Structure formats: C-alpha cells, structure tokens
C-alpha cells in the first residue's frame, strides 16, 4: 500500500487549523469577562455644596477614574432632592456604584436609596462640613478621594433612622437645628459663615425641655441647649460632638448639652474641636439602639446638615450595617 504524504499533510494542516481556531476561541471567551464585568459607576455632583468651584470636576473624574474597571457617567443636579430621583432610576439600569460629589446633604440624598441593597456608595467630599467623609478618613482632596474609589475597598456601616427618615452622620434638635436652618438660608457657605450664624443667634435662643426614653429602659427629663443623635463622631469640620461614636456598632450616641453662659462658649468650642466634649460636666452621653424623644411642640430637626419640621414626638433607631461604602 502506497503511503500518501499529500493526504497526510492535508489532514495535519486541517487538525492544526482546527486546534488554533479552538485556542483562539478559548482565549476570547476567557478575555470576555474582563469586558462584561466592567461596573457601571455614576458620579452625582451637587454644584451648590461647599465653596469649591466644581466646573472642573467632570474632567478630573474622567481623567482619574480607572476605566478598566468602570463604565463612567457624570451628572450634575439641578435642584434639591434630584439626586434621590436619579439614584432610584439608575438602580433599575444596573448601576452598582453611586458617588456623592458634595457634602453630607448630598450623601444623604443618595445613600438613603441604597440602604439594604447591594449597591455601593462612594464620596468625593466637596461640601461645607463633610462629616461622614471625615469620620471614614476619606481624603478631602478630589484626586486622593478618587483613588479610594479605584481601590474598591468596601465596608458596611450603620444607618440611623429618625421618624422613618434615614441619616448617616448626625441629626438632632435644639440650637444646632436652628443654626442649620439659618445657615441653609445664607448665600455664602463654609465654616466662617457657620460661626457667624452661631454668634448672631445665641443670645436670642430659649432652650427647651425634653423627655427622653432610652432603649425602653431609662427615662430622663432635661432642659437642653441641644440634643444630638450621632451615627458618626462629628458634625463636620472636625467638630466632634460624639468622639466615641462607632459607625459599625449598631448603636447611636445620644449627646445632650445643657444650657450655658456665653462666657463658657469658647471652652465648650475648644472641647468640641479637640474631641473632648464628652468630658464636659455640661454633657450627658449615652449609647442606645432605640430612642424616643418628646418635646413641647412641633419644631425644627436637622438631618445630616439639612433641616425640616417634625412633630413633637420623635423616634430613632438603627439599621445595623445597612449601607455599603467605599473606604480607605
């Protein structure tokens, strides 16, 4: 039988071609998940937060974000509350990462939609106080904050609830709520404006009496200058109203500041900014999972730097580890 070299060579070439095509297909299939797993990320910029110029932020974001990981979209809000509407819509479109580019109010608008979901919050802190970002040690420079996002390190934090309204940093009643309302009416933002507002309102303020029930066990009645319920340790600008607050412990820190004379204000301020306010004899502190507060009538409350009117009865609770956040 004559050996047919031509036929053998054709068969060999056909097998080689088949094997090469198979190898190429395998390599394509292996490479495809890198494209398919690209995450949708949405940056929501609040142009009215803080004092920083924000016209350059979309370009900086596009330059610095890792596009091998993310499919990027940047939106700028036009009115208060629009960030919440945007997030609700984008969740249905498969977005996983939502980045608040603003202050604590912007964070609140976005984060409250993300509670108990798999979506993840990021923060570019360009607001007036940036209390939550400071507590989480997120850098205040845009480029460094963007690097935190690129690193994809995630942790779940607690969320506070006051009268069914979520908060993530602090909320409260009394003088700081009044100041929050007045500050929100100012055309200029920033720490200096806040301090001027405090001094202008101090002498006309009348402290109120409150009845407070803590974890259905302890009841106290206090005449208070202010009462803060803290999930994080500070209001913002490193003003530590609850220095020992732990955003992972499933508890709120109740802080009651008694009325005081004006000449003691500098000492209270010093303790506030050095993280020692809880050592003051004027301050009552307590951790709790549930708090009920009753006051004389309807009034202002502040929630993450924003103010609104609520009734005389106020209930607070915690959603333990209810929000996923990108952290350093």
Whichever domain contains 300, its CATH number is 2.60.200.40
Instruction: Determine the pLDDT at residue 204.
Output: 86
Q: Residue 15: inside a domain, yes or no?
A: no
DSSP string covering 270-317: HHHHTT-GGGSTTEEEEEES-EEEE-SS-EEEEETTEEEEE-SEEEEE
The DSSP code for 263 is G
The DSSP code for 38 is P
Tell me the Ramachandran region of residue 79: left when phi exceeds 0, alpha when psi lies from -120 to 50, beta otherwise. Answer: beta
Q: Residue 28: inside a domain, yes or no?
A: no
Q: Write down which residue in 105, 127, 152 finishes a domain.
A: 152
Q: Look-up: residue for tokens 């979309």?
A: 58
264 with 139, same domain: the answer is no
Q: Write down which residue in 152, 180, 213 finishes a domain.
A: 152
Q: Write down which residue in 152, 178, 197 finishes a domain.
A: 152
Q: Find the helix packing angle between 104-114 and 82-91, rounded to 10°.
A: 30
- Do residues 129 and 237 touch, judged by C-beta distance below 8 A? yes
| β-pairing verdict for 154-162 and 313-326 | antiparallel
Q: Residue 214: inside a domain, yes or no?
A: yes
The DSSP code for 133 is H
110 with 184, same domain: the answer is no
Q: How far apart are CA 72 and CA 192, in angstroms?
A: 35
Expressed as residue numbers, the domain containing 181 is: 166-319
Q: Residue 243: inside a domain, yes or no?
A: yes
308 with 204, same domain: the answer is yes
207 with 274, same domain: the answer is yes
Q: Residue 8: inside a domain, yes or no?
A: no
171 with 222, same domain: the answer is yes
| β-pairing verdict for 154-162 and 120-125 | unpaired
67 with 137, same domain: the answer is yes
Q: How far apart are CA 128 and CA 76, in angstroms?
A: 18
Q: Residue 84: inside a domain, yes or no?
A: yes
Torsion angle, alpha carbons of 65, 75, 139, 276, to 10: -160
Instruction: Determine the pLDDT at residue 15.
Output: 56
Entry pTM: 0.85
185 with 216, same domain: the answer is yes
282 with 181, same domain: the answer is yes
How many structural domains comprise the chain?
2
226 with 308, same domain: the answer is yes
Q: Residue 74: inside a domain, yes or no?
A: yes
| β-pairing verdict for 120-125 and 299-303 | unpaired
Q: Residue 17: inside a domain, yes or no?
A: no
232 with 306, same domain: the answer is yes
Q: Could you read off the pLDDT tens digit of each residue along the chain, which spans 328 residues? A: 444 544 554 554 555 455 545 444 444 444 444 445 789 999 999 999 988 889 999 999 999 999 999 999 999 999 999 999 999 999 999 999 999 999 999 999 999 999 999 999 999 999 989 999 999 999 999 999 999 999 999 999 999 999 999 999 999 999 989 988 887 777 776 667 777 888 888 888 999 999 999 999 999 999 999 999 999 999 999 999 999 999 999 999 999 999 999 899 999 999 999 999 999 999 999 999 999 999 999 999 999 989 999 999 999 999 999 999 999 9
99 with 208, same domain: the answer is no
CATH number at residue 132: 3.40.50.10330
Residue 235's nearest CA partner among 167, 188, 185 is: 167
188 with 309, same domain: the answer is yes
């Amino acid at each position: 039988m004559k050996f047919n070299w031509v036929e053998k060579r054709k068969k060999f070439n056909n097998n080689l071609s088949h094997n090469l095509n198979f190898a190429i297909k395998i390599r394509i299939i292996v490479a495809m998940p890198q494209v398919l797993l690209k995450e949708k990320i949405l940056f929501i910029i609040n142009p009215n937060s803080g004092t920083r110029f924000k016209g350059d932020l979309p370009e900086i974001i596009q330059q610095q974000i890792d596009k091998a990981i993310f499919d990027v979209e940047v939106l700028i809000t036009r009115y208060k509350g629009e960030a919440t509407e945007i997030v609700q819509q984008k969740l249905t479109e498969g977005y996983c990462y939502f980045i608040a580019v603003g202050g604590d109010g912007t964070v609140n608008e976005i984060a409250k939609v993300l509670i108990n979901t798999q979506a993840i919050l990021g923060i570019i802190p360009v607001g007036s106080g940036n209390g939550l970002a400071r507590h989480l040690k997120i850098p205040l420079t845009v480029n460094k904050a963007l690097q935190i996002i690129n690193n994809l390190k995630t942790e779940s934090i607690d969320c506070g609830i006051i009268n069914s309204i979520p908060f993530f940093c602090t909320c409260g009643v009394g003088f700081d709520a009044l100041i929050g309302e007045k500050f929100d009416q100012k055309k200029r933002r920033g720490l200096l404006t806040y301090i001027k507002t405090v001094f202008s309102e101090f002498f006309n303020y009348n402290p109120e009496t409150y009845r407070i029930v803590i974890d259905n066990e302890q009841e106290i009645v206090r005449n208070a200058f202010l009462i803060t319920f803290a999930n994080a340790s500070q209001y913002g600008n490193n003003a530590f109203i609850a220095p020992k607050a732990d955003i992972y412990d499933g508890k709120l820190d109740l802080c009651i500041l008694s009325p005081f004379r004006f000449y003691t204000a500098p000492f209270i301020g010093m303790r506030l900014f050095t993280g020692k306010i809880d050592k003051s004899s004027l301050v009552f502190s307590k951790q709790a999972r549930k708090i009920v507060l009753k006051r004389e009538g309807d009034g202002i409350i502040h929630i993450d730097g924003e103010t609104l009117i609520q009734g005389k009865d106020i209930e607070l609770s915690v959603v333990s580890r209810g929000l996923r956040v990108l952290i350093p």
